[in-house]
Amino acid sequence: MSAPSPTPIRCVLFDLDGTLLDTAPDLAGALNALRAEEGLAPLPYARLRPLASHGAARLLAAGFDLGPQHAAFERLRTRFLALYRAMLAEATVPFPGIGELLDALDARGLAWGVVTNKPGWLTTPLLAALGLAERAACVVAGDTLAVAKPDPAPLLHACALAGVPATACVYVGDAARDIEAGRRAGMRTLVARFGYIGADDRPEDWQADGGIDHPLELLDWLAGAIAHG
Ligand SMILES: O=C(O)COP(=O)(O)O
Ligand SMILES: [Mg+2]
């Protein structure tokens, strides 16, 4: 007997940093602007890029060699976020192929949305600046709920907003916590291998349903998922 056919995909949910948008240049720019204010030389972009999906704390740890318990952490975090807010969409662009991918999803009548750990006060203006806020079927930020990824609740909330069951969604992300959240939510998962994967990351161990090296490869994956649904 063959395995039951998977439910056809009706909604694609995207992680933001490192999946939909190439935000690392502005995040690294803000961190190096803060280092300059503190009298420190800039860190190389290649060192900061792999941290860009892991939030302000990981960037500050790399930039100042301190953790959240340190006395200076809150001051530096507040200043870092203010600097980042001021340059939010300066160099940030969708990854090459994302614009075409979103047009193709719209043309096929497939819903798409965003589930990020970035706080809402940064997520909302960033998506608006890039003309994506009004096109997304749902946007769930890191502080929309009391819990964030790898908890599955933000993804389940996105499904409810889009009116699509988790079994008919795929979540695309570039970090282990994204794949864990998607699996726990009961949806299919894909690794965005073009995102901010670090040298120590092992995406092949994350138990995703697949991976894509370019956004448009999602259309090939969907063709298979839909044909077999
Ligand atoms: O800002 C973060 O914490 C990471 O954002 P992401 O979940 O969109 O990768
Ligand atoms: Mg990410």
SS (H, E, C) the chain: CCCCCCCCCCEEEECCECCCEECHHHHHHHHHHHHHHCCCCCCCHHHHHHHCCCHHHHHHHHHHCCCCCCCCHHHHHHHHHHHHHHCCCCCCEECCCHHHHHHHHHHCCCEEEEECCCCHHHHHHHHHHCCCCCCCCEEECCCCCCCCCCCCHHHHHHHHHHCCCHHHEEEEECCHHHHHHHHHHCCEEEEECCCCCCCCCCHHHCCCCEEECCCCHHHHHHHHHHHCC
Indicate whether residue 118 lines ligand 1 (CB < 6 A): yes
Cβ(18) – ligand 1 distance below 6 Å: yes
Indicate which ligand has the atom closest to the C-alpha of 142.
1
Ligand 1 close to Cβ of residue 116 (< 6 A): yes
Task: Tell me the average pLDDT of the chain.
Answer: 96
Which ligand is nearest the CA of 191, by number? 2
Residues with CB under 5 A from ligand 2 (ion): 15, 17-18, 53, 174
Fold of 11-22+93-227: Rossmann fold (3.40.50)
- How does pLDDT run across 202-217, given as a tens digit for each residue? 999 999 999 999 999 9
Residue of 26, 117, 126, 172 with the most ligand 1 atoms within 8 Å of its CB, for mutation? 117
Residue extents of the structural domains in the chain:
11-22+93-227, 24-86
- The atom number, within ligand 1, closest to the CA of 52 reads 4
- Torsions phi, psi of 88, nearest 5? -50, -45
Pair 106, 6: CB distance under 8 Å: no
Categorize the per-residue pLDDT at 229 as very low, low, confident or very high, splitting at 50, 70 and 90: very low
pLDDT in tens, 166-185: 999 999 999 999 999 999 99
Q: Tell whether residue 65 is among the known ligand binding residues.
A: no
Q: Which value does ipTM take for this structure? A: 0.95
Q: In the prediction, which pLDDT does 117 show?
A: 98
Answer yes or no: 15 catalytic: yes
What Cα–Cα distance (Å) separates residue 117 from each residue in 5, 67, 147?
A: 32, 19, 10
pLDDT tens per residue, range 89-99: 999 999 999 99
Atom in ligand 1 nearest the alpha carbon of residue 16 = 8
Residue 2: pLDDT over 70: no
Q: Find out whether the beta carbon of 53 lies less than 6 Å from any atom of ligand 1.
A: yes
First to last CA, the chain: 17
17 in contact with ligand 1, CB cutoff 6 A: yes
Output the CA 228–ligand 1 centroid distance in Å. 32
Query: Which residue(s) pair with 183 in the sheet?
Result: none
* Percent of the chain whose predicted confidence (pLDDT) is above 90: 95
On whether 17 is known to bind a ligand per the annotation, the reply is yes
